[in-house]
Amino acid sequence: MTKNPYDPCPCGSGKKFKWCCQAISADLQRVTDLLESQQQAAALKLLDELIQKYPDNPTVLGYKAGILIDLDRVEEAEAALDKALEINPNYARAYLIRGTIRMDEKETVGALQLYRQAARLAPPTDRELMNLIYHNIFLTEVLQRRPLAALAAADIALRYDPTDDELRERLKLVFESENCEYPAVARQLPALLPPPPSSPPDRQERWTQAASAVKEGKLEYAVREFEQLTSEAPEDAAAWYNLGLARAFLGENLAALDALDRYVALVPDDDTAARAWKLAEVLRFGAGMEAASDWNTWTAVYKISDTDALIDRFREDRRFVPTRRDEAMVHGFIADRPLAPVNESTPLFELPKILGLFGWFPSADLIAVHGTDLARHQACLKLFKEICSGLVTELQDNYRTSTFSEGAQRCLTYLTAHIASAEQKERLSKEAVRTWFESTWIQEPLRSLDGVSPVDAAAHGVLRRKLQGLIDFLEELLAANFPNTYDFDRLRHQLGLPTRRPVQEPTQGRRDIAAMNVQELAALPVEELSETDLATAFQTSRRLDAQELAGKFAEALVSRPAGDPPTDRFPYYSHLVQLASDQEDYAKAREWLEAGLRYDCEHNQGHRRNDYDLRLAQLFLRAGDFDEAHDTYRRLTERLPSDLDVLGRAAEAMLQARRQAQAADFAEKGLGAARAKGDRDRVAYFEELLSAARS
């Protein structure tokens, strides 16, 4: 493409092309011709001559660096770039070239910083260079799991060169392929908002200039302008939204979250706010967002010393379940229990739970263990180390934000890969996902909801908006990775949020109590419910944090005669004890405990006696009756002299009550029991308790 002689020179000198590099353009074309005819040595010789002829021009050094990289002479290329930047620190192409070197070295973060610096310095009139820079930024941001920044970079690159078919193909491959893991919200570039019509003309003009800068790839300028606009009018929701997008397009996801948070609080419409927070959730998956994300992956990598022995152990143990093998790796699950035969009547809770995933690299004698839930991952590593003791050595562990597919996999808590029946596998998989969302996720404190659980966020204005956007995001995430797995309107309905479709009234005699919200549960006719329905209502009320309502169902359950066969009623009595304790009605709590223990002895062979005694000890502690608490713990530990959990609780309880001698007594007994069992972790734990008791 012929350059306009009065455009800024692409070398970044600040001069017009006519008075800068136009004089050497013909010589550089000769270099290009030599390269196209595979005459690299001749091209380098000509470039050295040009360097001597034009010692103050960095462009020739940039061309030389590019050729040296192709010849794998990286150190010489770096030296040439150093000289070019000494001549002109604003030489954009030098940063671009150095960025490609860092990418070859797998230093993605460093490469991206260099590409961004090149974009800041490159003149928008050099369309070829701008296209090349943003094409590289697109590729790098994809690796950084920042789809909004990647889409913005691709959009800018194509504005500078609409004929870049290679980039269009890459866009399709990443965002439009059949197996694309991105939710729908992460596949489209969101548009900036226009200024409010009531804005002064000067503000509208600056707004327009900032929006134009986004299209031109001058994103830092756009960010500065929108920051200024928000500081001048902090209540302007649209300005905060645009600031959030501009920061996201620049890959500054954490700062973008802050701006979108302000927008969600300011915009008057709940649905509009929810759409913005759905977009914000995409940002949490970006590299470097671990502290702000609810979607993280932990990985531990081990070196295998004896592969055959390890395979034998896996086959014997049957908690390691390979699922597929590709050219480089064997993939599989690690479960909490060995696989067992499954039949059509097998309930979900009898399936093994997934603790983690593994990737085995046979050619390198390496195995990596992954997890998307910290507690499960820690349990997985403990199990892995026990089974593989003496056969593996830990090399490293790391912690990063999850990919979108890993985030979706987090809800798959039960292992169904071994089930032969496709129909049963689908049914149990759906039940597992439903159970996770409605029993586990709904109670988790989430960073996306300012550290509040979904069930609590539903009752608060701004958090309710965020919750709505978060659920919308999750619906799209599962649709991309595990379609038709879960109906999120169940979750919306339970939390009292607007549903996508009208909620159908249940047919006569077929109430889905587990899908009810608090208002519907409160309206249930308790006296007409079966014991099974009462139990479901109790569990659902607890999941929705309606503790008083759960108490109503628990009281109704324990007031009925024992069934045939009788059920375990400890959860109901325990809940009633807790409610009474919260109201400081310790006499009533004691009555519930005594009633529960009588029922357990008469109808459950006293299997829960220890649990009732533990609750009794806790009740005494809460009431400040430390002597009674100590006596209760003493009887328990005499009955269970090797139960490390009970001994630990007793020691901690006496420490809390400042009964040091009694705490030391329990800790010493626990230490002896732990040593007898060879449990090194518990030995250290009881040693710590004993030290605290004697201090």
CATH number of the domain residue 547 falls in = 1.25.40.10
Residue, of 12 and 218, whose pLDDT is higher: 218
d(CA 668, CA 482): 52
Assess whether pLDDT exceeds 90 at residue 5.
no
Mean of the per-residue pLDDT values of the chain: 91
Which pLDDT value is given to residue 9? 65
* pLDDT exceeds cutoff 60 at 1: no
Among 392, 418, 434, the domain boundary falls at 434
Least confident range from 11-15, 254-258, 470-474, 534-538: namely 11-15
**Do residue 278 and residue 325 come from a single domain?**
no
The pLDDT of residue 324: 87
Residue 301 shares a structural domain with residue 245: no
Q: Same structural domain for residues 530 and 668?
A: yes
Inside any domain, residue 465: no
Task: Give the C-alpha separation, 632 to 626, whole Å.
Answer: 10
C-alpha span between 579 and 574 (Å, rounded): 9
- Give how far the C-alpha of residue 89 lies from the chain's centroid of Cα atoms, to the nearest Å: 39
Domain count, the chain: 4
Once rounded to an integer, what is the mean pLDDT over residues 670-675? 94
The domain boundary, picked from 434, 456, 474, lies at: 434
- Single residue among 157, 186, 215 that ends a domain in this structure: 186
Residue 478 resides in a domain: no
| Domain, as residue range, for 326 | 296-434
Is 503 part of any domain?
no
Same domain, yes or no, for 305 and 275? no
Name the band, by pLDDT with cuts 50, 70 and 90, for residue 47. Answer: confident
User: Is 347 part of a structural domain of the chain?
Assistant: yes
Give the pLDDT of residue 60: 83
The answer to whether the beta carbons of residues 299 and 491 sit under 8 Å apart is: no
Residue 393 lies in a domain: yes
**Per-residue pLDDT averaged across 342-356, rounded?**
89
Residue, of 60 and 367, whose pLDDT is higher: 367
Regarding whether 273 and 356 lie in a shared domain, the answer is no
My answer on whether 269 and 337 are in the same domain is no
Structure confidence at residue 6 (pLDDT): 58
Mean pLDDT over 35-40 rounds to 79
Where residue 392 sits, what CATH number does that domain have? Answer: 3.30.310
The confidence band for 278, taking pLDDT boundaries of 50, 70 and 90, is very high
DSSP state of 233: -
pLDDT above 90 (res 206): yes
Residues contacting residue 538 through CB under 8 Å, at least 6 positions apart: 550, 553, 554, 557, 571, 572, 575
Q: How far is CA 561 from CA 554, 565, 598, 649, 666, in A?
A: 13, 11, 13, 34, 40
Same domain, residue pair 125 and 73: yes
Check whether residue 389 and residue 356 sit in a common domain.
Answer: yes
Q: What is the pLDDT averaged over residues 101-120?
A: 96
Q: Give me the mean pLDDT over the 269-276 stretch.
A: 97
178 and 242 in a single domain? The answer is no
Q: Which two three-digit tokens encode residue 657?
A: 């009550």
Instruction: Tell me which residue of 271, 284, 290, 294 sits closest to 183, measured CA to CA.
Output: 284
Closest CA to 514 of 546, 538, 485: 538
pLDDT of residue 14: 56
Which span out of 176-180, 258-262, 495-499, 642-646 was modeled with the highest average pLDDT?
A: 258-262
Residue 40 sits in the same domain as residue 73: yes
The answer to whether 60 and 47 are in contact (CB under 8 A) is yes
What pLDDT, on the 0 to 100 scale, is given for residue 29?
75
Assess if residue 79 is contained within a domain.
Answer: yes
Q: How far apart are CA 663 and CA 692, in angstroms?
A: 9
Query: Could you give the percent of the chain with pLDDT greater than 70?
Result: 95
Residue 446 lies in a domain: no
Cα separation, 653 vs 655, whole angstroms: 5
pLDDT at 478: 97
Task: Tell me, yes or no, whether 174 and 269 share the same domain.
Answer: no
Domain for residue 367, yes or no?
Answer: yes
Listed in sequence order, the residues at least 6 apart from 227 whose beta carbon sits closer than 8 Å to its beta carbon are 243
Query: Are 644 and 674 a contacting pair, CB within 8 Å?
Result: yes
Let me know whether 52 and 127 are in one domain. Answer: yes
